[in-house]
Chains A and B, each alone.
Chain A
């Protein structure tokens, strides 16, 4: 077979991949649009009926070396507008003064809790209860097992049927719990629910409460605003509509406690414990024919800090890619499993083909096109046509998310914010997306060859904090 025939075959492959991927993206965006319209129109009426109905929630907040911010974060959680909730901070063997700060700020007192071990974790050193806030407890455990182990310790101590697992440094909307608990009230078969996470860089936060929404000045953080819009308003909402959601963000997830315990809790031996749990829940529940729902509310419920330097961003994206690979591989029985519905028949194969393998195809595609051009197998016009199509479709998908945002929550207050997001959705195609694909490809290679992945230091400027 000649080189020309090989390259031609590869080109057809890439073209087919490209067409199917964009068709799926557009389909998901369309489903999301319909879902969003229905959600927004029914929201105010639903709020009136459900406002008095609030299932008790145990909020589990793992903390590792968070002495500088933990008091503000916990205070913000305690101010949430929700009737029945408890906050369980899990000090994951911090080496700094996290526990001392908590003891001082919330008048913690050792509490002889009859702690039950439903999920195995690293040893618990002590449990404390606040004298100033009866709904605040702190579990002090030995370090090990990462965030998953800390959340599992919190689950062991949780009293309520619904648990929230999130990050100590995320900023929650005051109504976030009302929004994410509503699916549990509307459909008793709901086992997990996520919400839209937004980028906090550029916003103003006072005392742990979001005061003013804005866009970051840092270009890396700005691109991530568009990325998050695309991921949450396009992808997740679309998958949620067909019960095919395979990920609930680790920054904000709400779960039916007993279902998580029954599934064995969060896995401490994987990188993406948040996604792994959701895929495992799909696998286990569908395998036994259980009626269940894993859903997503489009309301912006949680604001998180985006990396502003290349090193931190690269580490984050590599971790995400590794987490994706581990989650899919360890639950591969879900793929095309009988009774697994949209999760097994559509979402899982989609995640393998268009998320897990996408960096391979994207980077490979660019290389093949460049090679074909270099060896004179593609005209300059052909080369430009493919690059332009990829570029324009990328911009179109981002613009769809910006439009979805405008049709629903219009979180960003000024028209110039919308214009800035559009400009960024154009510019992100000039290097940023390719760079991210390259990092993801590196992570994929690392996973395939069994390389260990290190967390590294997450640099956070957090200059939005007042």
Chain B
């Protein structure tokens, strides 16, 4: 490397790098300013389109006979109008839904949505899926099968929701298969989806699914599926406890969805479980279901070595049916474990503060 001459390759390379970098910087700055201008233009267009369509769609959906006729819908306005239409669909009920359907068909939103389904942009695909779901069009059934199996959890979840809207009963096997195979659907959203499908439709598929899953898949699903139908959840939990009483995660999950006080005698022995999560959930279950007969067991749990078990046991003690200040005072006098005593003071102070 002879840097003492101006013709050296490395010097030339350095100059060229500087030129390329400087040129790229100016180019990127220009691009950044163009992006800004483009986005501002897009925002203005969006505001203008929404300014026209939002009041119009609202007037038509509430049955305003003096509402003006639908204007032409240019392709570049379509995503904004489609988004507005979906937002209205998700906000209204009854007669207005059918008016919105008529509008969609007049505007050709169904055809447009099918076209957008092949978009590579996830946001646009989801918009199309939502539209097809709201339209409840049987002919979209096969188109929605591919996104249902998509690796993207959001695309798949929206496709499931759309299929439920079209035909909940028919959608159940596909949805149960997805629940069994993927872990990526958010539990609460999944529970809402099944509640929307209707407990009557979802009940048996859920029972069949939960009793056929491998043990590792049961615990995260159980609380959410029990949310769809509490009685069903409790029944499944009882069954699972019999089948998998040695599986700590299943036992812990099952304890939380029990709603029958009659099960308490069968689960009390879990107070001696080596798994702290089980002992904690047992305390929670006793708090929901128990009466003063459980006081001794909770006093034992309040001396547990794990803080959360002591805390839940303390909270459960206050919640027991028939609990009052006099009984609590007797409990306080009998508590010899300093940790348990501390916890009783803690939960009583917490209750007093509200």
A contact residues vs B (CB 8 Å cutoff): 8, 11-12, 15, 38, 41-42, 44-46, 49-50, 52-53, 109, 111-114, 116, 118, 129, 131, 134, 185-186, 188, 372, 376-379, 381-382, 385-386, 388-389, 391-393, 395-396, 399-400, 402-403, 406-407, 410, 415, 418-419, 422, 425
Contacts and interface: CB of A to CB of B under 8 A. Distances in A.
19 contacts: A8-B1, A45-B123, A45-B126, A45-B158, A46-B154, A50-B186, A53-B188, A112-B345, A114-B307, A185-B186, A389-B18, A389-B21, A392-B19, A396-B22, A399-B32, A402-B29, A403-B32, A410-B35, A410-B39
B93 to A, nearest CB: 19
Contacts of A396: 21-22, 24-25, 28
Given A403-B32, A406-B35, A418-B33, A379 B353 contact: no
A53 B186 contact: yes
B349 interface: yes
Interface residues of B, number: 56
A45 B4 contact: no
A49 B157 contact: yes
Given A134-B353, A385-B11, A372 B3 contact: yes
A392 B18 CA distance: 5
A452 to B, nearest CB: 37
A40 B167 CA distance: 32
A442 to B, nearest CB: 29
B311 interface: yes
Contacts of A49: 154, 157-158, 186, 189
B203 interface: no
Interface residues of chain A: helix, strand, loop or mixed (majority): helix
Given A134-B353, A418-B36, A392 B22 contact: yes
B189 A382 contact: no
Nearest to B26: A399
Contact of A418 (B24, B29, B183, B345): B29
Interface of B: 1, 3-6, 8, 10-12, 14-15, 17-22, 24-25, 28-29, 31-33, 35-37, 39, 121-123, 126, 152-154, 157-158, 183-184, 186-189, 192, 307, 310-311, 339, 342-343, 345-346, 349-350, 353-354
A373 to B, nearest CB: 9
A41 B152 CA distance: 13
Contacts of A400: 28
Contacts of A425: 25
A372 B36 CA distance: 45
B10 A15 contact: yes
Nearest to B341: A114
B29 A385 contact: no
A53 B189 contact: yes
A382 B11 contact: yes
Contacts of B186: 49-50, 53, 185-186
A243 to B, nearest CB: 17
